[in-house]
Structure 1
Amino acid sequence: MHGLPEGGEPLTAPEPAAPEDVAVILYTSGTTGRPKGALLTHLNIVLNASVCAHDLLRLNGDDVVLGCLPLFHSYGQTCAMNTTLRAGATLVLMPRFSGAGALELLAAEGVSVFMGVPTMYHALVEAAAQAGSAARPALRAAVSGGAALPVAVLERFEAAFTTRVLEGYGLTETSPVATFNQPEFGLRPGTVGHPVWGVEIGVADAAVEDAVVLLADGEVGEVVVRGHNVFAGYLDDPEATAAAVVDGWFRTGDLGVRDEDGFLSIVDRKKDLVIRGGFNIYPREVEEVLVRHPAVSEVAVIGVPDETRGEEICAVVVQRAGTETVTEQELIDWSKERLGRHKYPRIVRFTEALPLGPTGKVLKRALTAGSA
């Protein structure tokens, strides 16, 4: 046991905590910048876990959840661990994720609910294809979050595992769950569903930074959130807190659009936006198209400096095994037929693997830095 801080005394009884007291400090993933410590309160944590357990997943004591997400991250800690404990279900932990290892655990432990990020879904689909149908467990539900799940990957997973994928949306600062594809509203692949209980979602003018100006449905803007899930601020960073929480709304830094039925779709991160010759290009739209090419296993689209157009579109591609004869020009021509003339990538680079952070999210800043 580690020693107590200097002058500290051991507690002789539980210390009461108020709902607004800070429960944990969880660091943001740092996908687009330096990680920041998000202060999450007891109210944030308890309500988010309760909503996930009872409203969204309807977990019970018979459920078995596979926890292959790091517990230092809000997705792994709140959605997997706290939610499972809140429902009295069983949590199976996996120290390091691999598609083959997860597939083996799913079957061996009788897992009924899988929670993962998009790269994990891709790995499971690949592992299932190699293992054959006998190794595929009977999942009741699968939950995807942490980043946008390409619809093509969702379709492949649902076909391989004969279950539905429920995609949600949130950030460390929102405890994390803010929206979810909830069956009572209908499921719509490619969207992140509706706000969860007690939470409001809006789409605001991204160009106005000192106020939240909400836009009408159908318009693309910055996703803003308010409700019991919004954090208490950033650790020792009042300036970042003031910039993030404006007019009572948390500004997510994500661009999104809400349709007339209330479904929210995430377009992309504001910082990932590529501006090519004055046109705004959303990398996710390009990725959704490219990942459907039979030779493409994974893809990340970034902007690289260009003297003429400011930025050029670059697709970094991981090829499927056995497709090594496919050329960069073939992928460029293929995407040109399926995307607008200003959207298709002019540059394609092949790589053996995309750089991932500890939570399994693609680190686009590492790709961009390598292309500078």
Structure 2
Amino acid sequence: MNLADRLHHAAGRLGGRAVLTLDGAALTYGALDELSARLAGLLLRRGIGRGDRVAVMLPNVPEFGVVYYGVLRAGAVVVPLDPLLKRREIAAYLGDCGARLLLAWHAFAETAEAGTAGTAADCFFVVPGELPRLLRAVSPERVPARTHADDTAVLHYTSGTTGRPKGVELTHANLAGNAEAVARMHALGVDDVVLGALPLYHTYGQTCSLNATVHAGARLTLLPRFEAGRALEVIRRDGVTVFQGVPTMFIALLDHPGVSDLSMLRVCTSGGAALPLDVLRAYETRAGCRIVEGYGLSETSPVAAANRGGPGRRPGSIGRPIRGVEMRVVGEDGRELPRGEIGEIVVRGPNVMKGYWNDPAATAEALRDGWFHTGDLGRVDDDGFFFLVDRRRDVIIRGGYTVYPREVEEVLYEHPAVRQAAVLGVPHPELGEEVAAVVAVRAPVSGEELRAFVRERVAAYKYPRRITFVAELPTSPTGKILRRELCQLTAPLRR
């Protein structure tokens, strides 16, 4: 079993249809299959084969698909890297995984070359127009390498929003099964056009956009960098029917003056971070489209649970587990808690990772008792819908009282001036922790006004005593708030 088989089979049915487009450029299924087969031939000629790690540092361009499926086709392991990484970060990742090669976009050549210096990896630059010419001289590997279902296909490094990034080993079976589940759940078909706004180097973009699109025989129209006005233009120009995004994208679109009727979108999904309920409701009333939330982590390939459209949707919930996946809410002792009680969400199923790269202790800790322990706190209602409460490590204990940041953030988002909000605990000499908020606004508002607004709506110990205003909250490309950077922003409050 090889994940690249999906492309190979799709090309046999849909050879002349476009699979990847970027403005005026297009790659058909047949061309993508052929170019990836030749890239696999190039890798094999360089002595790279089954199990070797190949780092890929490309933006959302059609060449990403060529490289991604080419590496898989050779039986090697894809190590996707953010193209905006700096020299030191690149060197750390390459050194950790022992990559043999870094395939980097030409625009990042200087940084990529500096990052490979002192590592075992060679550097190869991907230049648009030149790559097909180069590959024409290479014999193609028509049949993808024979790999086992449990062989590692992709080595994803976690975002490291709270600590040292870990390499997540996802197998061919993990990724193929999750892509199939997404395509089936959203009824993706050959007439669908998916907006490729999610970064393809992240598991969310790879599984839900790239691999699910190929599985369904649909088309992925790429957006190298998300900008609200540009996204609206592409949605309307290309007849996009499926928009998969993160909360920061949906918030940016709402703030754009050009947003109006988006009823042409058949499927709208949000993941990567919790979507404020106020944003979800605004899309229904202002844009005429519904957003369904999903849930998952890199370690779950990534989708573990999702809302469905129509009666299978419950606003504010992350939905139910997808087919073949089990989820529970457990206490400190690992036992399942009664419905409605808050505990840690654990996951079991074919989507759960093989383990953390070269980290048996972390793997054993995360996969104990046969379940993947997410570190997320949640609850499940009587109908089996799961609700995400917060990350365990983000919970604030103020004077012995428990404060869940997301609950306070939801209230802040209800204020019309608030565009982004994050709540965290800062050290306090008597209380242990104090509640603080970091806020980006769309209209003038004072800290005292926001404090009063929240104080009227939550218990007295929950409202933020301290509020810091910023132009933008620091977020990862998948919309997760970078908590470490928030701590730096609130550092003056600690003194």
Which category describes the TM-score, using the shorter chain as reference length? over 0.9
1:269-288 equivalences in 2 (<5 Å):
269-288=391-410
Residue 469 of structure 2 is matched in structure 1 by 350
Instruction: Give deviations 1:209-265, integer Å, cap 9, x for gaps.
Output: xxx221111110000000111000000111110110011000001000000110000
Residue 367 of structure 1 is matched in structure 2 by 486
The 3-state SS of whatever aligns with 2:355 is coil
Q: Does residue 1:307 correspond to 2:429, yes or no?
A: yes
Residue 192 of structure 1 is matched in structure 2 by 318
Q: Does residue 1:265 correspond to 2:394, yes or no?
A: no
1:341, 1:290 → 2: CA distance?
Answer: 15
Quote how far apart the aligned CAs of 1:47 are: 0.7
The 3-state SS of whatever aligns with 1:247 is helix
1:56-205 equivalences in 2 (<5 Å):
56-127=185-256, 130-131=257-258, 133=260, 136=262, 138-183=264-309, 186-205=312-331
Residue 440 of structure 2 is matched in structure 1 by 318
Match of 2:170 among 16, 29, 40: 40
The 3-state SS of whatever aligns with 2:384 is coil
**Relative to 1, partners in 2 of residues 1:235 and 1:4: Cα closer, same or farther, differing over 3 Å?**
same
Preserved CA contact (<8 Å) 1:139 1:161: no
1:239, 1:193 → 2: CA distance?
Answer: 31
Quote how far apart the aligned CAs of 1:5 are: 9.1
Instruction: Give deviations 1:54-104, integer Å, cap 9, x for gaps.
Output: 1x1001111111011111111000011101111011101110111111111
| TM-score normalised to structure 1 length | 0.93
Name the structure, 1 or 2, with higher relative contact order (CA <8 Å, separation 6+).
1
Q: Does residue 1:30 correspond to 2:157, yes or no?
A: no
Aligned residues: 361
1:188-227 equivalences in 2 (<5 Å):
188-205=314-331, 207-208=332-333, 212-227=334-349
Residue 357 of structure 2 is matched in structure 1 by 235
Show structure 2 runs of 5+ residues with no match: 1-38, 50-73, 75-140
The amino acid that maps onto 1:45 is L
Residue 107 of structure 2 is matched in structure 1 by none
2:483, 2:339 → 1: CA distance?
Answer: 29
**Relative to 1, partners in 2 of residues 1:17 and 1:279: Cα closer, same or farther, differing over 3 Å?**
same
Quote how far apart the aligned CAs of 1:183 are: 3.7
Instruction: Give deviations 1:110-155, integer Å, cap 9, x for gaps.
Output: 101100011111011111xx12537x46211100001110100111
1:75, 1:365 → 2: CA distance?
Answer: 22
The 3-state SS of whatever aligns with 2:174 is helix
The 3-state SS of whatever aligns with 2:230 is helix
Preserved CA contact (<8 Å) 1:111 1:137: no
2:303, 2:370 → 1: CA distance?
Answer: 18
Preserved CA contact (<8 Å) 1:110 1:137: no
Preserved CA contact (<8 Å) 1:221 1:255: yes
Preserved CA contact (<8 Å) 1:267 1:284: yes
Preserved CA contact (<8 Å) 1:107 1:137: no
The amino acid that maps onto 1:227 is G
Quote how far apart the aligned CAs of 1:38 are: 0.5
The amino acid that maps onto 1:50 is E
Q: Which moved more, 1:234-243 or 1:153-162?
A: 153-162
1:277, 1:243 → 2: CA distance?
Answer: 30
Quote how far apart the aligned CAs of 1:185 are: 5.9
Residue 332 of structure 1 is matched in structure 2 by 451
Instruction: Give deviations 1:254-305, integer Å, cap 9, x for gaps.
Output: 0000001100000001111111111111100000011010111111111111
User: Which structure shows the bigger proportion of residues in helix conformation?
Assistant: 2
**Relative to 1, partners in 2 of residues 1:88 and 1:4: Cα closer, same or farther, differing over 3 Å?**
closer
Quote how far apart the aligned CAs of 1:358 are: 2.7
2:437, 2:48 → 1: CA distance?
Answer: 57
| TM-score normalised to structure 2 length | 0.70
2:448, 2:241 → 1: CA distance?
Answer: 43
1:97, 1:6 → 2: CA distance?
Answer: 37
The 3-state SS of whatever aligns with 1:82 is helix
Instruction: Give deviations 1:135-182, integer Å, cap 9, x for gaps.
Output: x46211100001110100111122232111110000000011000102
Q: Percent identity?
A: 51
Q: Which moved more, 1:139-148 or 1:20-29?
A: 20-29
The 3-state SS of whatever aligns with 2:255 is helix
Quote how far apart the aligned CAs of 1:31 are: 2.1
The amino acid that maps onto 2:324 is G
**Relative to 1, partners in 2 of residues 1:341 and 1:87: Cα closer, same or farther, differing over 3 Å?**
same
